[in-house]
A and B are shown apart, each in its own frame.
Chain A
Amino acid sequence: MSGAADAVRLARREALGVSVATGLYGISFGALSVAAGLSVLQTIVLSLIMFSGGSQFAFVGVVAAGGGGPAAIATGALVGVRNALYGARMAPLLGVRGWRRLLAAQVTIDESTAVGTAQDEPRAIREGFWWTGVGIFVLWNSFVTLGAFAGNALGDPATWGLDAAAAAAFLALVWARLADPVARWVGVSAALVALALTPVLPPGLPVLAAAAVAVALGWWRPGGAPAPESDADADGAQEDA
């Protein structure tokens, strides 16, 4: 078997692992959304259209806190701004046009971009992105539906450690990218900035503010860090996922 075929096979396997892991914690979103006051149908429709975990959690978080529709929309959208950066990053790698581009946009999320850009071979990048995006879309929305129906019976998702599972998943996604020293520095700084701003900014904004660290370093630092094709090669957890 050629190296390229191996790379594609690994990308698909990784995509499946990420899809299952991410899809499973859709249960916690479904349960939390119903608890926030959305109906089961509203929860499912929100998840299908918005399809971005962070934005969805932020949206129902504002609703649960008593925030109005505009506040919920604004918060969800702001948390989703990073997806525009992922889209700009993925578009030239995917090379799709027309209706496929409309589909690609919908499945442009943290995980599909992370799995795609962690690959080395051009075809493995595309397969990693699509398999992860579509895989999560199917599994995430299925488990959101399950979670919405089972929410009350399941009780507090924290009892099952589902909140901690989200942190573990994000750590696993960023792990391979931290091999580069500049990326590691940016990661630690971003985490500290987000935590420092959490008490003073509405939920969602500290994460966005942390991105300013990366923009400042990436834009103005001469030389700077290499692009992730070289710093996040097929090493670490994603290779094994």
Chain B
Amino acid sequence: MNPDLVMWLAILGGGVAVYLIKLVGHLLPEHWLAEPRVARTAALVTVALLSALVAIQTFASGRGLTIDARLPALVVAAIALALRAPFLLVVVLGAGTAALVRALGWMP
């Protein structure tokens, strides 16, 4: 099959799959959430996934782990958050730190 067509089918298949997963969540019976255990679990799942994403976005490189300019960027972001810096400033400081550390050749 034409590789371009294969890619288009994958894009449509993946896009529809991800949308349907979102929709299933909205269509779940609401009383499922009436149980405190479900609400508590869902809340902790959000924390777990966001925390895991922080770790992966900082240390993962393909299927390996590495320490690079993303780590000092995360440290600076954490300091900024502790000082109650606004969201956008935190993100800009993170990007700027990584860019600077790389430009200076301190870390890859």
Contacts and interface: CB of A to CB of B under 8 A. Distances in A.
- Which bracket fits the contact residues of A? 35 or more
Interface string A195-217: 10011001100111011011101
Given A85-B42, A190-B48, A194-B55, A172 B77 contact: yes
A210 B95 CA distance: 26
A92 B30 contact: yes
Contacts of B12: 49
Dominant secondary structure of chain A at its interface with chain B: helix
A228 B70 CA distance: 28
Interface string A135-169: 00000000000000000000000111111111111
B50 A177 contact: yes
B11 A158 contact: no
Contacts of A128: none
B87 A186 contact: no
Interface string A44-62: 0110111110110001000
B28 interface: yes
A158 B39 CA distance: 38
A58 to B, nearest CB: 9
A86 B77 CA distance: 25
A21 interface: yes
A186 B48 contact: yes
Contacts of B96: 161
Interface of A: 14, 17-18, 20-21, 24-25, 37-39, 42, 45-46, 48-52, 54-55, 59, 63, 65, 68-70, 72-73, 76-77, 80-92, 101-102, 104-106, 108, 110, 113-114, 117, 158-175, 177-178, 182-183, 186-195, 198-199, 202-203, 206-208, 210-211, 213-215, 217-219, 224-228, 231, 236-238, 240-241
